[in-house]
Amino acid sequence: MRRRPTTVTLTALVVVTAALATGCGSDDEPDPLRGQQWALDALKLPDAWKTSKGEDTVIAVVDTGVDLDHPDLKGRLVDGYDFVDGDDEPKDLNGHGTHVSGIAAAHTDNGIGVAGGAPGAKIMPVRVLGADGSGTDANITKGIVWAADQGADVINLSLGESGLMARLLKGGILNQAITHANGKGAVVVAAAGNDSTALQPYKLDTPVLVVNAADRNGQPASFTNFGAQNAVSAPGVDILSTLPTYPTKETLKNTSGYGKLSGTSMASPYVSAVAALLHHQGLDPAAIMSTIRGAAANPQQLAKLGLGNVDAAAAVKAAPATKS
């Protein structure tokens, strides 16, 4: 009997789409919705930007694609690919990938919408998940390998809950793809998942940085998975970012181009942004991961936070000492 392909689902929870401003602002409001982005301050990213903004760094978002014409993302994109439809137009028909992309590197100080975590970086949209937010191991594997071969410096995997990680644990093809990407010089950052489950989700030699989710008080999000060796945490609750300007599953009736989502899917691209800042400083993948981990803080030793909450300012300050 022929095996059905295994699928992966997304790690974002229900969208919170309060009526937000359309994103237009005056000259004295560089990013009109910046005041709602509590996560940037929690990560101390504004302080980190004084040292690095991630210039000359490409973050591949292996996800549902992107709104290619979004005003807060247009000009931030490099060529991507659509492994679902097999073409060069990775248009987001779900909404998740657009949200993740904005977190990582939306335009900043441009008078529109929100600020991205790595204002100098570029986004490579790689569509491996369909409109329903699911996809096959085969397409995800192809997407990871393709992104690495096309020169992505950071690869963000805000993918699927325990399904993805369970297969990594078994040493399947996704594990091999991540190892391939690391060998090509890319840092691979992956969401832990939203099952509120303790697990060691990948083989110990897999070069991947797993990210748990925290709330605005720095406490573990109620939904976050935890237990991955050397995992870190980042904001993942009520995260404001870009959404498609046309109707999709995540946007529902909100076509303002902005909205809030919660999940480890949102925490992961924030760490990818910090990785981009460190890449610009000249660190290799191993040094980037060790620097992020070394700068994480967990004073209460909470198991669900792993090594602790990421501190971007501390990471970029520590970077010269770990430069290869």
What angle in degrees, to the nearest 10, is found between the helix axes of 173-183 and 161-169?
A: 80
Q: Which string of b and e fits 62-83 if b means at least 16 CB within 10 Å?
A: bbbbbbbebbbbeebbeebbbb
Q: Catalytic: 63? A: yes
Residue whose C-alpha is closest to residue 265's, from 8, 95, 11 = 11
Q: Catalytic one among 52, 256, 262, 265? A: 265
Give kind and range of the element (H or E) at residue 242: strand 239-242
Q: Catalytic: 96? A: yes
Question: Nearest-5° angle of CA 233, CA 177, CA 293?
Answer: 25
Q: Which residue has the tokens 């099952």?
A: 195
Q: Catalytic: 92? A: no
> What single-letter amino acid sits at 113?
G
Q: Catalytic one among 31, 70, 96, 268? A: 96
Give kind and range of the element (H or E) at residue 269: helix 264-280
Q: Catalytic one among 31, 63, 67, 92? A: 63
Catalytic residues: 63, 96, 265
